[in-house]
Each structure stands twice: as structure tokens, then as C-alpha cells.
Structure 1
Amino acid sequence: MSAYLTGLGLGASLIIPIGAQNAYVLTSGLRRSYPFWVATLCALCDIVLIAVGVMGMGVLIAANPLLLQVACWGGALFLAWYGWLSLRSAMQPHHLREGSIQAGSMGAVLAGALAVTLLNPHVYLDTVVLLGSIGGQYAGDERLHFTLGAMCASLLWFYALGMGAAKLAPWLDRPLVWKLVDGGVWLLMWFMAAKLVIKGLGLLSL
């Protein structure tokens, strides 16, 4: 039980801070654009990555400077691009009424969820590297319990975020609110991109 709670708490502490993936789940819920399936897909991706990390990939990536460089610079470019899309959206008039709620087909929405998950190095750093490195230190049943705890944190968070946002959508049907959401995502993405650039520059100096 101790290993499970450790995995649950650590997984929650890494997943809950809002980032590109969480921002996508949140906006899909606000738009009522297949939030259940978006949350399910993001949670499943996390589950697979956590399992891969605990099985040994986390230690490998953490010890490889080249892979860390690729993660930092590729992530900075991705987050800068995602932030630009949010900034452009914030400058356009829109709201959550029928006709603007569904942002594309289910396939397009899920493809976006895959992109914001698998092309975002923060996801790999959190799941494969950090959770994998710590979980890999456990042995036997304790490693399994730690892994299950971290996986449960992802499941609980993504469903709460996606489905909770969907229930709030009727109260958030205001253009100003949506502009603030997009603007906040834009600032967050560019702030995170800047942090990755600083980290990448630090790795270059090593």
C-alpha cells in the first residue's frame, strides 16, 4: 500500500500542473468536443508510457545527454507552435454555443490529443524518465503497486479535468471567458517553451 500511495501521489504531482496535454483536455471539455474519449486516450497513453518507464527506459533516457537535448529543443519548438495557435484563437471572436462547440470530427480531435501527448517531451520526462526512474528502484510487488498508483493518478485526473470542464460549459458560454482561456494557454505554453530553451542551453554548456 505504501508503494501504491507513493506512485499515486508522485503521479498526481507531475500530472496535475497544467501543461500542453492538460490544456488540450480542458479545452476539449469546455467545447464539449468528445471530452470522454480525449481523456481516455490521454490516460491510456500515460499508462503505456509509465509502464515503459518503469521497465527501464527512464534510466536509459536520463543517462543519455543526446536524448535529453532532443527532448528539450523539440519540446520548445512544439510548445511555441501550440502557444501561437492559442494566441491566434484568442484574437478571434468565438464562444461555446451550438455550432462552435464541436471543434472538428472525432478523428481530428483524437489526432490532436495524440499529437499534444506524444509530441510533447514533458509527457516523456514526467512518465518515462521521472516515474520510470523512481519506479524502477522498487522490486517485485512493490514496483507493480507503485506503477498502478501512478496509472490511477492519470486516470482520475484526466477524467476529472475533461468531464468537469464539460459540465461547466453552460456557465462559460461567454466570449471573454474563452479569450482568457486561450490567452492563458498561450502564456503558459510560451513560458514552458522558454524554460526548455534555458534547460537546453544549460545542457549544451555541460
Structure 2
Amino acid sequence: MFEAILHGAILAFGLILPLGVQNVFIFNQGATQLKFLKTLPVIITASICDTFLISLAVLGVSVLVLGSFWLKTILMTAGIIFLIYMGFVIWRSKPASEQQQTNEMLSPKKQIVFAMSVSLLNPHAILDTVGVIGTSSLAYAGAEKLAFACACIVVSWIWFFGLGIAGRLTGKLDKSGRFLTVLNKISAIVMWGTAIYIGSSLLKQF
């Protein structure tokens, strides 16, 4: 049991650690929102989406879904559209000091929609979850498989909350707003880069 938990925790941490659209977006919202509580919609949404994907991967359901050429193509196309749009929104967004005056921060509704898009419409992340976590879970059965899945999910929740807190602390330290301005540009570039990567992968299928 302990081996399954340790395996799941290390595996999940290794997958979630690299810089990606999801991580960048959560950190960005933590830094730009005026209060940590206002970051909770994006953190909780991303955590729930990861819980959903990990559960599907362990159950093997996601393999059947991604096995369909047209479903996979639709998923990739939707992901590209959302990432391009989000890139423009983040690029044009302003740091907290200016947002206090212009009131242009992302609303909870937009946070939830965007968090869902970077979590559920990112084929690269989904394939990682299915290919790595789903495949690794085959080594376990019964209670051990459940423990493995729970460990992956717990690490995901802890990571996203920690990322939001780190972003909030960064936002407090950056009184000038210069760092956040640069962060917004980097976030947008990462999103556009991911969209290009997904687009190139999509074209290779035809």
C-alpha cells in the first residue's frame, strides 16, 4: 500500500512540476488578483479537472475516448482556439496596481472557464496523464490502485494551492507591477507556443 502511495505521489509531482499552460495560468492569477480568496475559483477548478482526468486514466475510460480520431481532433482544435484567445487576454491584462484602477481582473466565471480549458482542452497534458498515470496504475489492483490514484490527486491539489499562494506572495512583493507585466507576456507566449505545438501535432495526423 505504502509503495503505491509513494509511487503515485512521486509520479504526479514529476508530471505537474514542469512549466506548462496550467501552472503559468494559476501562478499568474495568484499574482494578479488582489486577494488570495479571489484566486480560489481557478485553483479549485484546475484541481477538480485534474482529479477527473486522473480518475479516468486509472479507470481506463480516457483511453477509449482518445482512441477516436474525430474526438481527438475536435479536442485538439478546441484547445488551440482557447489557448490563442487566452493568450491575447493575458497579454493585454495589467498588473494588480493598475487593475485596482481599471477593474479589469478576470472574474470568477472567466477564471473557471479558462482553468477548465487549460486543463481539459490541452491534449498534451491529457496524453501525459493517460500515458503515464494510466499505464502506471496497471501495476496495481483493488485498494492499492485506489491508494495510487488518491496519492496522485492529493499531490495535484497541494501543488495548485501552493502555486496560487506563491503567485500571491509574488504579487505583494512586486509593488511596481513590472514583474507581473513581464509574467503576463511570458504566460501569453507559453500559451501561444502550446497552441502551435498542438496545431503541428494535429496536422501530422492528416
TM-score over 0.5 (shorter chain): yes
**Residue identity in the other structure for 1:63:** G
> Where has structure 1 moved over 4 Å in runs of 4 or more?
none
Assess, with a 3 A threshold, how the Cα gap between structure 1 residues 38 and 79 changes in structure 2: closer, same or farther.
closer
Percent identity, aligned pairs only, is 28
2:147 paired with 1:145 = yes
- Letter of the 1:82 counterpart: M
Map residues 29-40 of structure 1 onto 2, 5 A cutoff: 29-32=30-33, 34-40=38-44
Matched, 1:170 2:172: yes
Which range is displaced more, 189-198 or 151-160? 189-198
The letter for the 2-side match of 1:153 is V
SS of the aligned residue for 2:33 comes to coil
The runs of 5 or more residues in structure 1 that have no matched partner are none
Residue 172 of structure 1 and its aligned partner are, at CA, apart by 1.6
For 2:13 and 2:85, the matched residues in 1 are separated by 27
Partner of 2:189: 187
Contact 1:12-1:154 at 8 Å conserved across structures: yes
Alignment of 1:1-206 (within 5 A): 1-32=2-33, 34-89=38-93, 94-97=94-97, 99=100, 103-128=105-130, 130-204=132-206
Unmatched 5+ stretches in structure 2 = none
Closer/same/farther in 2, CA of residues 107 and 191 from structure 1, 3 Å limit: closer
Would the aligned equivalents of 1:21 and 1:117 in 2 still touch at CA under 8 Å?
yes
1:124 Cα deviation after fit: 3.0
What is the count of residue pairs matched by the alignment?
Answer: 200
Q: What SS does the corresponding residue of 1:99 show, helix, strand or coil?
A: helix
Q: Cα RMSD between the aligned structures?
A: 2.6
Contact 2:55 2:149 in 1 (8 A): yes
TM-score (norm 1): 0.82
